Every structure is written in C-alpha cells, then in structure tokens.
A = this chain, B = another copy of it.
C-alpha cells in the first residue's frame, strides 16, 4: 500500500536533506543507510518518518553531526564513550566497532555511551556484530512514555533492546523489541482507523488501562510488556528499567524521567541519551554455535501451529521477508502522508524531491 519509491532515490533524498541541514557527507550517508534499512525491513516509524526530526535537531543545534565521539575510559573489554551529540548512526558505528574489536581479543566487548542521539532501529546495530560472527546486543533509553506498574504516569521510555546472532545456513536470529507492550505508533494507527486498542497496551489520563485510542493518545502513557499487574506487566517494567541501567545509569547520560521529550516544536535541548552495545564472541565458548542457532530456528519453524494458517516464525523472520522483497523490487513504500511531508521537506531544504515510481492504492 502507498507509493513506491526507488530505494536508491529515497536514500539519496535522505542524504541530501541531512547535508542541507549541515551534516558532512559521511555522517549523512551513515544516517541515511540506517533510516532506509528501517523502511526496508518494515519498521517505517524509524525510517523516513523520522528524517524531519533529525534535520530539526541539526538545525536547532541539539545535534552536532560533525563532531567526533571520544573514548573517556577503556579496558581490554569495555569502553565508556562520549558521543558528543553526533548523529545516532555515527556514534553507534563508533561504539559497536569498539565492542567488536574488543570481543575479538577479550571474548566480549561492552560499551556504554552518553551524549547520544536517537539511533534508529536497534537491530541494525546488533546485526553489525552478527555480521562479524558475534552475538550483538544493543540497548537505548528513550523519552518517558511508559508507566512503571501501578504508576499513574510515565517515567520510563519504550527502552528497546536488540539481540542478533548469526546461524549456519544463512540463518539470522534477530530480536529487536521495545520493552513496552507496543510502540506508540500502534496507538496512533488504531486512532486513525477509529478502532479500539487491545487491553494491556495503554493507560488513560486517570492511570487506568484504556482501550479508547483517543484517551490513550491524550495520556501518552504506554503499559510495559505484559500489560497489567495480573499478567506480569511488572516484568516489562523491570526490563525497561534494566535497559535504563545499561544506558543512562551506566553511562552518566540522562536517564528515566530526566530524558527530554522529542518534538518538532522548537529546540528541545540536547538529547544526551544513553546507549549500550555489546558483542560476545562465540569462538570463546563451545564450538558449533552457528549450527545450534540454525538447528533451534529450524525446530521452531517446524512446530505444529495452533492455527494451520499461521505458521510459527522465528525472531526476525518478518523483517527478513520484508528486506528480501525490498531487495527484489529495489523499492520501498511510503504512505501518501509521508510522501507529502517529504515533498514539503524537499522544498524547505531546497533539495531534489523523491520521485514516486508507482502508486499502489491509498493507505
């Protein structure tokens, strides 16, 4: 659904916009590569959709794309990094490269960074380690939109985590998840469709669980993974808190309730998010790691499904299918509203707009 754009053209457009805003060529290209990957694997909320926010951050000075991240402290296996407000892709490449090189020698590399900006789909970073034959881990804190169990208001972000590992026979274990029940985009989608939410997704302004999408949009307060207390929502709260430990608290960045709200309406200040990256080298453990990864993934896919029409999938199967489709067609799809926003941005920044190659119906 939506309009098809050549992937190369969409990526070129992203680079042009980031450069027009003030980023040098390399950081603009790395950031565009990150964003286009989100669109390719089917997570459009983290792709082109966010371009304007990054442009805005550069223009207000909240992001300084041409700085360089620096190591503040390091050991054989760890590093504490100051990302110095660069774009998320620049600092995440820097940190994950560090984690991988440490894991090559020490078996594990653990890097925590302050002074960060949003770094798109986390799976991109964990997968960077997997491409080097390792288990990759990535964590980030985000603006507070999730209520600790029993709390009337939000105090933690969606605080996602990602774990990616390579398997034999070209398998890839790819987990990239918010520690809230759903991401905020799902509330927005139900609201647009005029449909109710599912129980356990969000709280209303009174702090109680709501299935009213309008009320949930007003409250902006997601429930942690697990939903209410009876279905163990406190575990999702605990996981979000764990991510915060690794990110804001370990790195000395903003944490929890101290993280800024990310908006387009004027300068919201430097983000100073906390990120955390790790690489674990399977060569330091039992031989045959990749074979076992492939074996267990094959087993999961072979399980008898409860509903014969809904096959059991492995973490990452959906993303992989979307990526393969994007690869085949050489295109990505955008909603009419995204196309419109991008055209306006092109005009504003005086860059060549994207070319729509085909319209595939309205969204």
Chain A residues proximal to chain B, CB less than 8 Å: 72-78, 80, 105-108, 110, 112, 114, 135, 148-153, 155, 163, 165, 173, 175, 177-178, 181-182, 198-201, 203, 206-208, 225-227, 230-232, 234-239, 241-242, 244-246, 248-252, 255-257, 280-282, 284-289, 292-293, 296, 299-300, 303-307, 310-315
Contacts and interface: CB of A to CB of B under 8 A. Distances in A.
Contacts of A173: 241, 245
B245 A163 contact: yes
A73 B289 CA distance: 15
Nearest to A108: B110
Given A76-B105, A241-B296, 14 more contacts: A73-B284, A73-B285, A76-B76, A77-B107, A77-B108, A135-B250, A148-B300, A177-B238, A181-B231, A200-B227, A201-B231, A245-B293, A251-B286, A257-B299
A150 to B, nearest CB: 5
Contacts of A74: 107, 284
Contacts of A289: 249-250
State the oligomeric state as a number of copies. 2
B252 A286 contact: yes
Contacts of A246: 135
A213 to B, nearest CB: 14
B150 A311 contact: yes
B284 A80 contact: yes
Contacts of A177: 232, 235, 238-239
Contact of A200 (B107, B231, B303): B231
A265 B246 CA distance: 43
6 contacts: A78-B107, A150-B303, A150-B306, A175-B241, A181-B231, A241-B314
Contact of A77 (B106, B153, B304, B315): B106
Contacts of A257: 296, 299
A300 B250 contact: no
B77 A305 contact: no
Contacts of A284: 73-75, 78, 80
Nearest to A231: B200
Contact of A312 (B148, B232, B300): B148
Contacts of A300: 148, 151, 155, 241
A292 B249 contact: yes
A106 B226 CA distance: 36
B238 A175 contact: yes
Nearest to A290: B249
A110 B173 CA distance: 20
B225 A236 contact: yes
B306 A206 contact: yes
Contacts of A135: 245-246, 250
Contacts of A206: 306
